[in-house]
Structure 1
Amino acid sequence: MQQSGLEFYNGTEVVRGDILLDRGIILDIGSPRFKFTIPKRWVWDARGRWLTPRIVDLHSHMGDSSSPELSGSDDGNSFKGIAQPWLRSVDGLNTHDDSYQLSIAGGLTTALILPGSANAIGGQAYVIKLRKTAERSTSSMILEPPYQMNSSSSPDPSSSPRWRHIKHACGENPSRVYDGTRMDTLWAFRKSYKEAAKLKQRQDEFCSKAEAGQFVEELGEFPDDLQWEALVDVLRSRVKVNTHCYEAVDLDAFVRLSNEFKFPVAAFHHAHETYLVPEVLKRTYGGPPVSAIFSGFSRYKRESYRFSEFAAKILTENGLIVVMKAWDILHVVQSDHAAINSRYLLHEAQQAYYHGLPENVAIASVTSNPAEAMGMGHRIGYMKKGMDVCYLFKLCTPLLKKYVRRLGRSHPLALGATPIQVFIDGIAQLENPVVAEKPDELQRAPKVSNFDEEARNAVKYDGLPPLTATESSSGFVVFINIKDVLFKSLTSVVGDFVAHTEDDLGVLVARNGKPVCWGSRETCLPIVGTKDSDITVVDLQGGSISPALLFYGSPLGLQHITLEPSTTDGVIHDPLSSDAPSILGNSTLIRAADGLQYGSRDALMAYRSGVTTAITAPEHNQFFFGLGTCFSTGASHKLEPNALPQEITALHTAITYNAASSVSTQISVLRRLLLEANGAFSKVASGQMTLVVEVGNADAIATLISLKKEIEAVHGNVIHLTIAGAAESHLLAKELAEANVGVIVGPIHPFPDSWEIRRILPGPPLSKETTISKLLDYNITVGISPVGLSKFVPPGNWNAQNLRLYAAWIVLDSNGRISTEKALSMASINLEMLLGVSTEAKNIDLVATIGGNLLDESSKVVAILSPRSKTVDIF
């Protein structure tokens, strides 16, 4: 660790010193040096790095909905009934899930495995440790198995209780699955709890008679029922109730249910509107539940439409406890899939911190808070000397008397913080971990911007605060105290001004949205003159001017609420699943531009985050052909000037192993259309239009490379081919470079959710290289997207606003190989080249940020400069 001592800041106690572990138990912490000799082979030198409690996931389905997704691998939901408290997630827990090791690599070590949310009562949940055991069994993974694991077991009255867990769900999910309404779901709850209450009453009467001395022969058999015994334990406050619940209407209903039947609630999960109704939560029987929420996953259905990134801050300020959770993917009638992002659960806490959650609370939101919520705070979630050591030695088996910690080079809340080792049961889990060195300034929590006003507005406007910008009415806008200015050249992003000291901070003068001077005050301010009424001054406080970003990878602009058909353009026809309607004709290609819907909250949030344009292809499920479009995320309608910089960009298709037809059939169709070369396919074959193929599998990518060469040989022209998604593209980096094929990597952190993309390159600490670094080694033109193109992942429209953070993450993971300028290029000009944006349509917008540059997580976007629209929008 570091020189011994205590340090306090932001409510966090930081111990600088050593730590002594024995069989996974903390025996001492913070001592300058231990007073007895420790063999050198037993010493692990942390070299000043951070040692934090284990990261705990309160909401996971890994193992039950295991990866990669295969037939029979989803055991997360039962569709046999709306209320089934007798089912158990442990009975479907797959020990071979690829999620485990990937999640451990992110510092996650313990998870509550919940049944899915298709049912009002989905079944019982279990806490597991993620490490492999010598026994290799499901049972050996469970942390503190409840005594009721087997019906023949009963707790020792003198021993400490072991918590049980159960999953409930409100709202849309059970209503959709069982073709009912919220009224039906609440009736299912009340009916089930009434049955449990009657059984409890019979048991209580039995026990009262026994205590009164009545003979066993007279009492008969103790009243019990395997179907309802779990709910009886809920009524006896022996079970942690975890409830999937989004909206105020459902939160209020479940709080009433808890008071009607007098049982406490451990947590509301997803819980998008809890920040709007804190007083409702406080009325819960037994005290308010924790809110297990996302930092950004939102607006994918009605229940999540009023999401706020400031929810964690608001809840904390109202005295409520917050737990951050990784976002799930949705498939198979709205079930939740595990661990697609649980490796980056810590990133959820980081984003909540950036949006105003105090530092100590942000760390607690993925450590002690979830540990306490699952009833495991006596043994996990904290760094404490001798944590229940005596109790554990006396009453627990050797398998269970363990603790887990993780070590990281950066402060846990610094973007890109990556463990260099993870311990479970005192056993190091990462073999030869790769360490990505980070700047020294990341050893402390980053500075963050002030979002108090935004948080107040989130509540004031009932979750839907205005998002439109204020256009400056001045002819001149002067940005002062600028640290650096970056512009786009024809092929890259380059720096044009940098201040080396606080005294050198510069200015930029814009007139009608166009920069006319940047550099020193002495050089630029005389241009403005003295007419104050025609001048707006914006203080960037050491901030930056950077090129605006471009988003690609989801149907942004075609949807307002992904799962609400009335708010979307809809899915286009799969030509291989059935005959197309004859009225379409034989050669007509769907244009995304025809279905654009401006003013969605996702688009406006992206605009406010520096993403001023997006390229969108027609929405699809499987195999398709369609024409992409380029639109302005900040425009209010299509006929507004510059709202549609380029109506048609590239020809898009997808090659997937999950389509209704075989991959070879899909390739055959693409070959025929390119050989016949009619319409848009003629433009592709002649090199006038780019072909963008969404594909992840290396074998399919290899076939596309061969197809490109085949078509080029026939037509004699160079085909512009872009591979999008590209999870396994690192396996073909050399071949892609030789074929001059560009790649859009999305997401930048891959996950093997399906068999076709199981051969991912995970990056540090599991591998030195990432997909991006491997491709760059071969000088391939690389673009990035924060979202995945897998059919299992819901469209990531909401994630457009986080593009700048993912670009920054690339820089931090690269060990100095990728500069800020290069990352900005991958999120802007490279995407333009790869997606068929013409020279005339290239985005020349600029973004002004305070507190740092656009890729600095501490920065905040305050203005958009648009030379094309001759405006400056100020936020």
Structure 2
Amino acid sequence: MLLIKNGTLIIGTGSIGKGDLLIDGGKIIKTGKNLKADDRTKVLDAEGKFVTPGLIDVHTHLGVHEEGIGLAGHDYNETSDPVTPYVRAIDGINPNEKGFEDARKAGVTTVQVMPGSANVIGGEMVVLKTAGIVIDQMVLRSPSGMKAAFGENPKRFYGSKGKTPVTRMGIAALFRKEMKRAQDYLRKLENGEVIDFDLGAEQLINVLKGVIPIRAHAHRADDIATILRLAKEFNIEVTIEHCTEGHQIASYIAGHNVHVSVGPTLSTRSKIELADKGWHTLNALDQAGVPVSITTDHPVVGIDSLILSAIAAVKHGLSEETAWKAITINAAKHLGVDERVGSLEPGKDADVVVWSGDPFDARSTVEKTLINGETIYDSGISSNK
């Protein structure tokens, strides 16, 4: 057992001030004040420090876009076809990629890794812990969603080659065509008809049955509206990823009961769809009652800047409570893993970060990162277990 004493605890659903945290068997056992230790318990004094849940980034390309090695590390877009529901991010992730170490050092313990946004339908994604040497041993949820992309990226990748989609109409049409095909495949399966096996349709069945959501890349407000229209047509769950112009239609989004990830707002306006990018998006969505998460879209913005993104959001008007939830408990709910991570509650995984000071002070540093109760980063010494 491990007892972390005398730290300022930010539970993830709020702060209880100075208190203690008891960990055993990789799980959180109890939080409170003046918890007692027995002879078997290791005690860590966190006097003057902050103790928080591990941070969560809901939208990354960690390990499928390896930094610093060029084309050989670009395993995030299967650009052989604009519709590739049969591919899986899990099959392209390198757990030894430097970004995982950066995540651990920054207190990021859970990430969702997904295909890129070149394709209208890009394949399955996975939620991982950030420590491990075999991806299968790091998995928290697999699959965790099906990637889709709307707007300029599919047009740019395939329209320039004279292939569909050339327009936004073409993107929506391809999406509808593939979903209709999967619906027909499912109907035949349920009727016991003899059909040729189709891996893409098989994986889209998980979307149609509500096992996983479509996680849809969209920046412009009209693209967001298209996604919501298609979600209604096929009666499927969706999340909106990026949502750059979400502030323009915040109340409309709020009426559709969807989770939204916003970011990477620390990035530059690298394309036309980002012209109205800013921290005001988070504020407007939050005020409309939309549950928001903050993302770095690593490696667009480095994974180690997740907390800096939250700090910047607070600087521009978002409450500390909302910003904190956007990288912990709301992020866990966005990913459908909130029963395991996102807060320091009894029974959840002991993914814990000890900070030198207030995490919302950019001068504070991560002193320890624990995943499943094991220290995987300690005062600048990283261990990949």
TM over 0.5: yes
Task: Choose which of 235, 243, 267 in structure 2 pairs with 1:262.
Answer: 235
Distance 2:120 2:296 in 1: 22
Distance 2:310 2:23 in 1: 27
Instruction: Tell me what 2:138 maps to.
Output: 141
| Deviation for aligned residue 1:111 | 0.7
Instruction: Tell me what 1:175 maps to.
Output: 155
Pairwise mapping of residues 783-794 of structure 1 onto structure 2 (< 5 A)? none
Instruction: Tell me what 2:64 maps to.
Output: 64
Pairwise mapping of residues 401-550 of structure 1 onto structure 2 (< 5 A)? 402-431=349-378, 433-434=379-380
Task: Choose which of 257, 275, 288 in structure 2 pairs with 1:305.
Answer: 275
Task: Choose which of 304, 311, 330 in structure 2 pairs with 1:350.
Answer: 311
| Deviation for aligned residue 1:412 | 1.6
Task: Choose which of 274, 280, 284 in structure 2 pairs with 1:314.
Answer: 284
Instruction: Tell me what 1:373 maps to.
Output: 334
Distance 2:9 2:203 in 1: 45
Distance 2:142 2:361 in 1: 35
| Deviation for aligned residue 1:299 | 2.2
Question: How many corresponding residue pairs?
Answer: 372
Instruction: Tell me what 1:90 maps to.
Output: 90
Distance 1:417 1:7, change over 3 A: closer
| Deviation for aligned residue 1:295 | 3.5
Instruction: Tell me what 1:104 maps to.
Output: 104
| Deviation for aligned residue 1:430 | 1.9
Distance 2:274 2:134 in 1: 37
Work out whether 1:280 is the aligned partner of 2:227: no
Distance 1:424 1:236 in 2: 32
Q: Deviations over 1:666-705 (max 9, x none)?
A: xxxxxxxxxxxxxxxxxxxxxxxxxxxxxxxxxxxxxxxx
Higher strand share: 2
Distance 1:342 1:7 in 2: 21
State the TM-score, normalized to the length of structure 2: 0.90
Distance 2:356 2:49 in 1: 5
Distance 1:339 1:46, change over 3 A: farther
- Paired residue type of 2:205: V
Distance 1:319 1:141, change over 3 A: same
Distance 1:83 1:7 in 2: 43
| Deviation for aligned residue 1:19 | 1.1
Q: Deviations over 1:131-166 (max 9, x none)?
A: 12xxx32222222445xxxxxxxxxxxxxxxxx311
Distance 1:45 1:362 in 2: 27
Instruction: Tell me what 1:481 maps to.
Output: none
| Deviation for aligned residue 1:375 | 0.6
Pairwise mapping of residues 354-753 of structure 1 onto structure 2 (< 5 A)? 354-387=315-348, 402-431=349-378, 433-434=379-380
Instruction: Tell me what 2:215 maps to.
Output: 242
Distance 1:373 1:221 in 2: 37
Given that 1:274 and 1:291 are in contact with CA atoms closer than 8 Å, whether structure 2 keeps it comes out as no
Identity %: 27
Instruction: Tell me what 2:46 maps to.
Output: 46
| Deviation for aligned residue 1:68 | 2.5
- Paired residue type of 2:374: I
Give secondary structure in 2 for the equivalent of 1:256. Answer: helix
Work out whether 1:25 is the aligned partner of 2:27: yes
Q: Which has the higher contact order (CA 8 A, sep 6+)?
A: 2
- Paired residue type of 2:178: S
Give secondary structure in 1 for the equivalent of 2:286. Answer: helix
Distance 1:386 1:32 in 2: 20
- Paired residue type of 1:83: V
Instruction: Tell me what 1:37 maps to.
Output: 38
Distance 1:6 1:409, change over 3 A: closer
Distance 2:9 2:331 in 1: 26
Work out whether 1:203 is the aligned partner of 2:203: no
| Deviation for aligned residue 1:311 | 1.5
Distance 1:6 1:101, change over 3 A: closer
Distance 1:247 1:173, change over 3 A: same
| Deviation for aligned residue 1:121 | 0.7
Give secondary structure in 2 for the equivalent of 1:173. Answer: helix
| Deviation for aligned residue 1:130 | 1.3
| Deviation for aligned residue 1:296 | 3.5
| Deviation for aligned residue 1:283 | 4.5
Distance 1:3 1:69 in 2: 44
Distance 1:322 1:19, change over 3 A: same
Q: Deviations over 1:211-268 (max 9, x none)?
A: xxxxxxxxx6688531211212111111122111000110111111111111011x21
Distance 1:276 1:413, change over 3 A: same
Q: Structure 2: 5+ residue runs without aligned partners?
A: 160-165
Q: Deviations over 1:460-516 (max 9, x none)?
A: xxxxxxxxxxxxxxxxxxxxxxxxxxxxxxxxxxxxxxxxxxxxxxxxxxxxxxxxx
| Deviation for aligned residue 1:280 | 2.8
Given that 2:213 and 2:236 are in contact with CA atoms closer than 8 Å, whether structure 1 keeps it comes out as no
Given that 1:295 and 1:352 are in contact with CA atoms closer than 8 Å, whether structure 2 keeps it comes out as no
Given that 1:408 and 1:421 are in contact with CA atoms closer than 8 Å, whether structure 2 keeps it comes out as yes
Pairwise mapping of residues 763-774 of structure 1 onto structure 2 (< 5 A)? none
Distance 1:137 1:2, change over 3 A: closer
Instruction: Tell me what 1:619 maps to.
Output: none
Given that 1:103 and 1:339 are in contact with CA atoms closer than 8 Å, whether structure 2 keeps it comes out as no
Distance 1:16 1:108, change over 3 A: same
Instruction: Tell me what 2:130 maps to.
Output: 130
Q: Structure 1: 5+ residue runs without aligned partners?
A: 147-163, 207-219, 329-337, 388-401, 435-764, 767-875
Distance 1:7 1:235 in 2: 38
Give secondary structure in 2 for the equivalent of 1:72. Answer: helix
Q: Deviations over 1:257-297 (max 9, x none)?
A: 111111011x212211011101332344xx22323333432
Distance 1:181 1:97 in 2: 36
- Paired residue type of 1:236: K
Distance 1:6 1:173 in 2: 42
User: How large is the Cα RMSD of the aligned pairs?
Assistant: 2.4
| Deviation for aligned residue 1:95 | 2.3
Distance 2:251 2:52 in 1: 33
Given that 2:146 and 2:214 are in contact with CA atoms closer than 8 Å, whether structure 1 keeps it comes out as yes
Distance 1:86 1:227 in 2: 4
Give secondary structure in 2 for the equivalent of 1:407. Answer: strand
Q: Deviations over 1:637-671 (max 9, x none)?
A: xxxxxxxxxxxxxxxxxxxxxxxxxxxxxxxxxxx
Q: Deviations over 1:791-841 (max 9, x none)?
A: xxxxxxxxxxxxxxxxxxxxxxxxxxxxxxxxxxxxxxxxxxxxxxxxxxx
Say which one has the larger Rg.
Answer: 1
| Deviation for aligned residue 1:350 | 0.7
- Paired residue type of 2:210: S
Instruction: Tell me what 2:163 maps to.
Output: none
Distance 1:268 1:405, change over 3 A: same
Give secondary structure in 2 for the equivalent of 1:326. Answer: coil
Distance 1:289 1:318, change over 3 A: same
- Paired residue type of 1:17: G
Distance 1:121 1:345 in 2: 27
Distance 2:9 2:350 in 1: 23
Q: Deviations over 1:19-63 (max 9, x none)?
A: 1101220111114122x51446x1111123111111011111111
State the TM-score, normalized to the length of structure 1: 0.41
| Deviation for aligned residue 1:340 | 4.8
